[in-house]
Amino acid sequence: MEDYQIFISYRREGGEDLTGRVSDKLKGLGYHVFYDIESMRSGAFNEQIFSAIDQCEDVLVILPPNGLDRCLEENDWVRLEIAHAIQSKKNIIPVMMRNFAFPESLPADIDALRYFEGVSASTEYFDAMIGKIEKLLVSKRLSADERPKDTNADFAAGVRFLNYKLYDQAQAAFQKALQTDISNPELYFYAAVALLGGKRPFLVNKSVIRQIEEYLQAAIAIGNQAIAHYLLAYVKYDFYRNKMLRTTPEYEQALAVAHHLEITEEEIRMLFELLNQQKPACF
């Protein structure tokens, strides 16, 4: 894994847009930032997250309104990230968006978050907010020679477009990225998501479904990640099964492999958020 300086923890619901802007700005200033949709690669999700936090000196926590409410759940990822950062004695900087307020009580493993010096987020005075964040950072700007080469710009742009539901732009970005990086399983996976265009597979043309399957088979051949098997199962279920068409292997086999590889509920939730669809009851 690359050597990061700043880890950004955030709640996608309400915090993603600001997180992307903060990440872009800090990288432009010369910091090496871990922002999960840009920085994740093959491997176990939790291992990458905790390893990235361990590397970083600073942890920014982007807090939209009600952003800590789900932290009552033991397996909530924002809670796990904050707890790991506190336990690891990282320099934590809460970035509090408008109308955010700390709950009266928080789980014991993250309650110390409220006592760290923080910054009020502002889109109107964005540069001033970044200046305040910089003053609280332990990390120092890297020189031009020290900065990592940005080889993932097209990949990152594609994921951003996906999150904004701009599927054609996302697909174009992933196609451009694949021209220079044909061995990245995530590129094939996200390209498959983009091809679905926010629709159920049932509503997608069969030729496009075939392309999606090719992308997912490439992702599986390179990385054999549970999430690629799971998406393949969903495509086979919704398209072939609901149209009563034959396919080999059947969706149940792909789904069984995904569970054998220990896909997590968080990964499943994130997938269906990207797909902009509801998870089938049988999944």
For residue 275, give the nearest of 229, 216, 226, 234 by alpha carbon: 234
Q: Which helix (H) or strand (E) holds 24?
A: helix 12-29
3-state secondary structure 129-196: HHHHHHHHCCCCCCCCCCCCCCCCHHHHHHHHHHHCCCHHHHHHHHHHHHCCCCCCHHHHHHHHHHHH
Q: Are 265 and 80 in contact (CB under 8 A)?
A: no
Residue 35, phi then psi, degrees to nearest 5: -130, 115
199 secondary structure, DSSP code: S
d(CA 250, CA 237): 8
Q: For the chain, how many helices (H) and strands (E)?
A: 12, 5
210: helix, strand or coil: helix
Element (H, E) at 7: strand 6-10
DSSP secondary structure letter of residue 75: T
Catalytic amino acids?
A: 81
